[in-house]
Structure 1
């Protein structure tokens, strides 16, 4: 899972997090309770990932993380990115070797240029060759992730075998592009986690599994 913002979650020596507000970070236990193993990378040191997520080097890093997750679990790997992190997830999927990634989930993807000077359209989206789920909140007021851009993102994923766009609505008010707002699904986390999980389960069924009904071989542990 690839969080947005600067990319730093601040993993402390005792396993607690300095920055846990991001949608994917704060809902990791919900995904784990549905039987999914979760891997969320931290940014090295104080490095800011803004403007770096669409680069070949970072795409290769995400590809390596996917390979590691697959080797640890022996299960299909799905890349899930939110906001700025959607750029990283798309980049990793576009550069992944055949069979290394089973699907891609983009939530409130950055589609318009802002302070980071990059968007999902800086990634070769046509190179993505796996099923894709796009989640867009009609109430997202963040100017760089307008929900109306979801069909445009879907159209750019010309090489994907299937692209599903799911629209949601709602969320508690907050800073427009902040994690604790409709942009980060504050107040509707359960609905969005259920939606993503159901979509992944449907993809897993295609791999001969009956959905995520129990822990994967080496599930990640919640550090908090």
Structure 2
């Protein structure tokens, strides 16, 4: 069966993303033109526009299109930002960030996924996004970013992630305990971090950022 991916992309925007109050014209334009199927493993390609998180292997999942839309809208990118993404995954959100921001550095712990994402980004002509193969909780950089985007959940927000934010910068992150997690925008204000609640969701934890197992007696 041949899938009309352009039509599927249009339906994704109109039936999934827009009804979830994603109304930012630049975000909708990127989601409506970037071929999500080209970032998917072959086994998942036909499901590229389904309203479900798609497995990437080893317990990792590609974010649902509606979540990608909400993330991008919350970050309110205007093309001037330097973005740090933690968790490249299949590279689709990385590509969206590359289309909307000035520069993107994306950190991915799985070497095969990092290489695959980099190939997909280059194929789309997105040359302002660099993929770094590293574990973000062990990696460090002296660079500061105006935006940090975390694609996996954390029990609590690691201080080092906040440290990478410029003064006045903003971070998207999902925090808390499954199944009732909270997506927030952290603003790095002059008086300290300020949290803006966005929506409830439930995502797999970023590797190493899950809550410590509780002992039951």
The TM-score, its normalising length taken from structure 1, stands at: 0.30
**Larger strand proportion, structure 1 or 2?**
2
Task: Using CA pairs under 8 Å that are at least 6 residues apart, name the structure with larger relative contact order, 1 or 2.
Answer: 1
Mark the structure with the bigger radius of gyration.
2
